[in-house]
Amino acid sequence: MTNNYKDALAGLEKAQAALNAQDVSQLPPVPLANLERSKAAVYSEIQALQAKQFANLNKDYAAITNDFRNCKSELTDLSNWVSAREARDRAIFSMLTKGVSIALSLLM
Amino acid sequence: MQRLLQIFVLIGSLSGFSACSVIDDTLLTEEVGDFSRGVIALSAVITKEFALAEEVNTLGFTDNLQFQLELGGNPDTNLKSLFSASDTAARLSLLTALSGYAETLAAVVSGRSLSSEYSKLVGAAENLKQLSSGNFNLAHSLSFLDSNELVNDISLFDKLFILPERDEKLLPIVEKGGTALKKMAILLYFDIGALSDQSGKCGYTYPKNDLDTNMSSLRLCKGGLRSIVSSAISFDTNIWKDKLAYLKAQDNDNSDARSTAIERLVSIQKLGQSLDQLLSETQTTLIAMVAAHETLETTLKDAEQSSGPPTIAISKSILFHEKLRGLLETAATVKSALSALSDSAAATQNFQSSALTQPSIGESDDK
């Protein structure tokens, strides 16, 4: 997916909002740790984009922090974990799925 | 009230100035001294605000790291600061120059030697020449061309610092300084930014801002330090929300841990509110500073023309001091809120839920 930096920031904020909206009380510790690491990576990328002055915000986006680039495996693990659940669980974790999906789309 | 009385006396005494008069009036010295101290105090607050943002970012990093470790995760342990060293240095150069200008005014009006001020100012002016728009956070609301122009205008501030050597009269310095001071204030105003879009144009372009008109009319898009701080507060807040939700699902008695999480959750949100208030008040104080400087210029011009300054202009000087007083009070509130959080963070590090003896990432992850 091609995004410019402005769209990417909006996408990251959407991903962050969805991940934050997920009720984690039914999430086991390991996926939860994965989620917290992914959230930290999304946060780092948002802050890096916010703190940087771009000459051209419409340039094609590529992740600028190692944190975000490296969290692809955590996001994929989370996506796989939810996919392997029963339908009822997948509905419970719909916000998580949404957030992970947006974040992964920015790393394609 | 006493302050008002002083100002009315000042109006009366200034009306007697002629073009050749030596500026030795006590009240004028006081007025310029107050303005100078105000600018220096404001610069110090802004410097601290960037440091506060880094502290909030560190709090979030620490809390996230702690939570991931408690969950048996494998967190990244490298803290990333929000601002690069060169961006921090650029802001410091700008604020040093602003304070230096204010100190020069106070030195000129009080008849002090300018040599010691001048050596400091030369260094500050040299640093200003190195400034680049890339060191600031302007892209949210200004085009790259406008950002460059604003920073280039500020780099010309060095010409002002030649004046004290050449002409120690206050008016020519204040006349030239006004433009540079306003550009600096605008740059800082944009750099501090906004929590949300203030113009319908933000979604697709930049708001139309005339940088030569009244600063109160500036319209910003979401971004800058306010948005960065808000993101940092939100990040930390959500860690504690998740921790609380996680604790709620545990079978064991963890009421102490839950109390700690609740306390932190509330404290961080309160800190976020105070911090944004501080940043917002800083922006209004910058506007008031520019208006107070214009008042000073008007006062000096009127004094040279032997006519009394308008009372309405004098009220802008009072407004600057009132805004600054409020700003310093808010800064004290933020400092105390952050200290309380940092103190409790140490205690929180000991928090370990007995239920958190879980496998690490990569091992079986189902309960």
Q: How confident is the model at residue B343 (pLDDT cuts 50, 70, 90)?
A: confident
Residue B52 tokens, joined: 């506060």
Residues 40-69 of A with CB under 8 A from B: 40-41, 43-44, 46-48, 50-57, 65, 67
| pLDDT value at residue B314 | 63
Residue B49 has pLDDT above 90, yes or no: yes
Q: Which of A40, A47, A53 sits opposite B228 (nearest CB)?
A: A47
* B40 touches B52 (CB < 8 A): no
Query: Which DSSP string do the residues of B95-111 spell out, in sequence order?
Result: HHHHHHHHHHHHHHHHT
The answer on pLDDT for A39 being more than 60 is yes
C-alpha B189/C-alpha B104 separation (Å) is: 23
Question: Which of A11-15, B14-18, B291-295, B311-315 is predicted least confidently?
Answer: B14-18
In tens, the pLDDT along B258-300 reads: 999 999 999 999 999 999 999 999 999 999 999 999 988 888 8
- Tokens at residue B85, please? 């060293």
Query: Can you spell out the DSSP letters for B303-360?
Result: HHTT-PPPHHHHHHHHHHHHHHHHHHHHHHHHHHHHHHHHHHHHHHTT---TT---PP
DSSP secondary structure letters along B195-242: SS-SSGGGGTS-----TTS-GGG----SBHHHHHHHHHHHHHHHHHHH
Say yes or no to pLDDT of B348 above 70.
Answer: no
Q: What pLDDT score does B164 carry?
A: 59
Q: Is A53 left (phi over 0), alpha (psi -120 to 50) or beta?
A: beta
Minimum CA–CA partner of A23 in chain B? B245
pLDDT digits (tens, 9 = 90+) for A73-107: 999 999 999 999 999 889 999 999 999 999 999 99
Give the model's confidence band at B75: pLDDT under 50 very low, under 70 low, under 90 confident, else very high. very high
Q: Is the pLDDT of residue B34 over 50?
A: yes
**What is the model's pLDDT at position A23?**
95
Return the higher-pLDDT residue of B26 and B326: B326
First-residue to last-residue Cα distance in chain B = 70
Residues of chain A in contact with residue B61, where contact means CB-CB under 8 angstroms, are 40
Contact B118, B160 (CB under 8 A): no
Per the prediction, chain A carries an average pLDDT of: 92
Q: How far apart are CA B331 and CA B329, in angstroms?
A: 5
- The answer to whether residue B366 neighbours chain A at the CB level (below 8 Å) is yes
User: Cα–Cα–Cα angle for B159, B161, B166, nearest 5°?
Assistant: 95
Q: Does A34 touch chain B (CB under 8 A)?
A: yes
pLDDT tens-digit readout, B112-157: 777 766 777 777 778 888 888 889 999 899 988 899 999 888 877 7
| Cβ separation A34–B361 shorter than 8 A | yes
Q: How far apart are the C-alpha atoms of A41 and A71, rounded to whole Å? A: 7
Taking the CA of residue A52 and the nearest CA in chain B, the distance in Å comes to: 7
pTM of the model: 0.86
What pLDDT does B16 receive?
Answer: 37
From B151, B177, B11, B159, select the one nearest B94 (Cα to Cα): B151
pLDDT digits (tens, 9 = 90+) for B298-340: 888 887 776 554 444 566 788 999 999 999 999 999 999 998 8
Which of A30, A40, A54 has the CB atom closest to B358's CB atom?
A30
Whether residue B61 is predicted with pLDDT greater than 90 in this model: the reply is yes
| Total domains, chain A | 1
Q: Which of B123, B185, B175, B122 is nearest to B153 (CA)?
A: B185
Q: Which domain holds residue A24?
A: 5-106
Nearest to B358 among A29, A40, A55 (CB): A29
Tell which B residues from 215 to 234 touch A, by Cβ distance under 8 Å.
223-224, 227-228, 231-232, 234
**Structure tokens, B201:** 């144009």
Out of A36, A56, A65, the one facing B68 most closely (by C-beta) is A36
ipTM of the complex: 0.94
- Adjacent-strand bridge partners of B361: B363
Q: What is the band of B51 on the pLDDT scale with cuts at 50, 70, 90?
A: very high
Instruction: Supply B131's token pair.
Output: 């400034």
- Determine the distance in angstroms separating the CA of B284 from the nearest CA of chain A, rounded to an integer: 22
Whether residue A36 and residue B80 make contact (CB cut-off 8 A), yes or no, is: no
Nearest CB neighbour to B82, from listed A34, A51, A57? A51
Contact B246 A25 (CB under 8 A): yes
Distance of residue A58 Cα from the nearest chain B Cα, in angstroms: 11
**Lowest-pLDDT choice from A41-55, B45-59, B309-323:** B309-323
Give the whole-angstrom CA distance, residue B323 versus residue B313.
Answer: 16
- Over residues B37-50, the mean pLDDT reads 96
